[in-house]
Amino acid sequence: MEEAPFERAQALAGRLTAEDGVPVLGAQSGFDVALAKRAAGEGAPVALVAACGLAELPPRLRPVASQAVRAGGVLLSPFPMTHGPFDHDDNERARVQTALAGTAVFAPTAPDTPEGRALTWATDAGRPAFVLGSDEDAPENTRPVRNPDDFAAVLDSVML
């Protein structure tokens, strides 16, 4: 991912947690893990959604999951305890993540990725959906988050 959307995501997550919002993140990628670590370091809770059963959480993710829970967050999974991890389950993880969040915010993503499908699901369901930057591949009805001036629209949709 290019640097600008990553920096925007960090700033947006910081604003959200400062207003007692709880980011809902995937428990898998370096991007989401970095946001979860930052929130935990600030004592802010996050919800982490795993793409496998909780008993199968990859060892590299266990420290950040523990930090998130100690900071008042949660680790959850839509799968049975010993399920996976399987690559095809990332679609379900992204949908559950989006459903729990209510407002979908993703970095620029291609439509054939789990996050792209989750954005489409959100817009089809009439939920607020945002893309960090201007993404030509983003589904219709998503709004770009190009700079901090756009954070208010995201926060307003989250804090309903």
Percent of the chain with pLDDT over 90: 53
Report pLDDT for 57: 95
- Model pLDDT, residue 1: 46
**Overall average pLDDT of the 18-44 stretch:** 87
Q: What is the Cα–Cα distance from 145 to 114, expressed in whole angstroms?
A: 20
Taking phi over 0 as left and psi of -120 to 50 as alpha, with beta for the rest, 150 belongs to alpha
Q: What is the pLDDT of residue 3?
A: 55
Beta-ladder partners of 26: 49
Residue 38's alpha-carbon distances to 64, 112, 130, in angstroms, are 10, 29, 21
Average pLDDT over residues 121-141: 84
Q: 103 with 130: CB under 8 angstroms? A: yes
Pick from 7, 8, 6, 12: nearest CA to 24: 12
Q: pTM of the predicted model, to two decimals? A: 0.88
For residue 34, give both structure tokens: 């970095």
Residue in the structure block whose two tokens are 């209510």: 102
Mean of the pLDDT values across residues 77-100?
Answer: 94
Domains in the chain (CATH in brackets) are 3-155 (3.40.50.450)
Question: Structure tokens of 140?
Answer: 């219709």
Average confidence score pLDDT of the chain: 88
